[in-house]
Amino acid sequence: MFSMSKYKGKILVVDDDIDVLTTARMVLKQRFSDVEVETNPQKIPDHFKKSDIDVVILDMNFRPGVTSGEEGIFWLKKILDIDPDASIVMNTAYGDIQIAVEAMKIGASEFIVKPWTSEKFLVTVETVYKLSKSKKQVNKLQQTQQVLNQELNKDYSEIISESNAMQPVFSAIDKVSGTEANVLILGENGTGKELVAREIHRKSKRSGNSFINVDLGAISQTLFESELFGHAKGAFTDAKEDKPGRFEIASDGTLFLDEIGNLSLNLQSKLLSVIQNKSVTRVGSNKNIDINIRLICATNKDLYKMVDQGEFREDLLYRINTVEINLPPLKNRKKDILVLASRFLKTFSDKYNKQGLKLSSKAEQALLDYNFPGNIRELQHIVERAVIMAEGKIITENDLSIKKSTTYRSDSLNVEDLEKQAIQGAIQKHNGNFTKASEELGLGRSTLYRKMKKYGI
């Protein structure tokens, strides 16, 4: 029994026997939306030029009295020259089975022996059609992946810097990329940790495979195992099908675990087990699945201090930091501020169709004077907003919306002046959170309050 719904596929039947074509068309119309017939094989290329063909049903012989099957082999090769992925069913008489097998070796998908029954004919074509669609889907996925890889390389082809402070970073990237070593990237928020991770992947032997980014700070404890290790169907209420985790998906590629300092000790233990064993077990399953990943982690937290305080496992730390890369904050990369600003200015001028914008000299100086607690990400947002708000071709200091009260630059080397500047910078960096500011400064909260009162902050 066959379903009455039709496949939206195109079938081409090539045969010099009008009766065969009539019967084939009538049978195939039951299941396929578009069936074309052709008596002249010379016109096969024209059919391929007009549209995509899912299955070709090709006779072995066309000239009267010819039974060698050579014509069928000739046109089989011709079709495969036109479309190497073409799905072809050879339509052959009983005595031509040997040559039909030869056709299969050349590239035919299947053969059917005359005289065939309608049911046998339909099942054969339907099977080859499904294989054809699967093949095309796989090709499409492969092509999509290639495009994604190309886009990845295009978007992350370089890290922009002219600062000496970044030279150790570039050197480390070059040295570590060709290895399989686990890498830990440390740096403040907005310094470009993911950019460095992608650059390592791009230059590695795994560059043709996936780069999977996981923001551990955005995954709840209850979803951690399911997201990273996967789950089996029925493992919990919403587990309606088997699902691979990020470790499986990243296998043969690179897994980037961002904000690893946010993990609880319990989850750190589970992560350590997977890294050590190089295998995962999906939630709700007992089957171990081998994984092969390059691991890169990143955090803005002081993991060594967390280890001392019992907040981060020391054995996990030494598993993930075979090589450690420290990214300097933007305030330590003064040479890069205007270089990056120029790049962002061009990007957002194109995006918002506001060509010819330039920074005034006062705007440039305002950027150079600013402390950038949000680093490169903050600079990007400042420039984007300025492009949007600018009314003329020149972006002014006011367009940047940088408050002078948040600028802490002093040529004074007086200890009290420097201490006041550090306290102001820490408070502004943490948006008025005195607990975090005191931790940043290495002071107790009561000491911080006392010094704020002293300096009139």
pLDDT (0 to 100) of residue 387: 93
Residues 29 and 111 in one domain: yes
For residues 28-61, one letter each, b for 16 or more C-beta atoms within 10 angstroms of the residue's C-beta and e for the rest, the string is beebbebbbbbeebeebeebbeeeebbbbbbbbb
* Domain end among 326, 352, 376: 326
Q: Is 2 a member of any domain? A: no
282-to-99, 212, 213, 221 alpha-carbon distances in Å: 49, 18, 19, 16
Structure token pair of residue 312: 């981060």
- Residue 295: which CATH number? 3.40.50.300
- Residue 352: which CATH number? 1.10.8.60
In which residue ranges of the chain is pLDDT below 70?
1-4, 63-67, 94-95, 139-158, 403-415, 431
* Domain end among 276, 298, 326: 326
Residues 185 and 313 in one domain: yes
Using DSSP's 3-state secondary structure scheme, residue 113 falls into strand
Domains held by the chain: number: 4
Residues 338 and 322 in one domain: no
Q: Is 141 a member of any domain? A: no
Q: What's the rounded Cα separation, in Å, for the pair 268 and 128?
A: 49
Residues 212 and 313 in one domain: yes
pLDDT (0 to 100) of residue 154: 46
Residues 84 and 214 in one domain: no
Residues 322 and 338 in one domain: no
pLDDT (0 to 100) of residue 208: 87
Residues 225 and 274 in one domain: yes
Structure token pair of residue 262: 């946010």
216-269 tens-digit pLDDT: 988 888 889 998 998 887 888 777 777 888 998 888 899 999 999 999 999 999
Nearest CA to 327 among 300, 297, 352?
300
Q: What's the rounded Cα separation, in Å, for the pair 74 and 90?
A: 12
Residues 424 and 445 in one domain: yes
Residues 344 and 319 in one domain: no
Structure token pair of residue 148: 């994604």
Nearest CA to 182 among 249, 247, 248, 254?
254
Q: What's the rounded Cα separation, in Å, for the pair 25 and 31?
A: 10
Q: Is 1 a member of any domain? A: no
pLDDT (0 to 100) of residue 2: 42
Nearest CA to 126 among 2, 14, 17, 20?
2
pLDDT (0 to 100) of residue 403: 59
pLDDT (0 to 100) of residue 443: 78
Give the residue numbers spanning the domain of 218: 164-326
Residues 301 and 345 in one domain: no
- Residue 433: which CATH number? 1.10.10
Q: What's the rounded Cα separation, in Å, for the pair 14 and 38?
A: 5
- Residue 37: which CATH number? 3.40.50.2300
Pair 106, 77: CB distance under 8 Å: yes
Residues 336 and 229 in one domain: no
Q: Is 152 a member of any domain? A: no
Distance of CA 250 to the CA centre of its chain: 10
* Domain end among 273, 300, 326: 326
Q: Is 142 a member of any domain? A: no
Q: What's the rounded Cα separation, in Å, for the pair 374 and 44?
A: 63
Residues 373 and 423 in one domain: no
Q: Is 96 a member of any domain? A: yes
Nearest CA to 273 among 238, 319, 312, 231?
319
pTM passes above 0.85: no
Q: Is 104 a member of any domain? A: yes
Q: Is 286 a member of any domain? A: yes
pLDDT (0 to 100) of residue 329: 94
pLDDT (0 to 100) of residue 138: 75
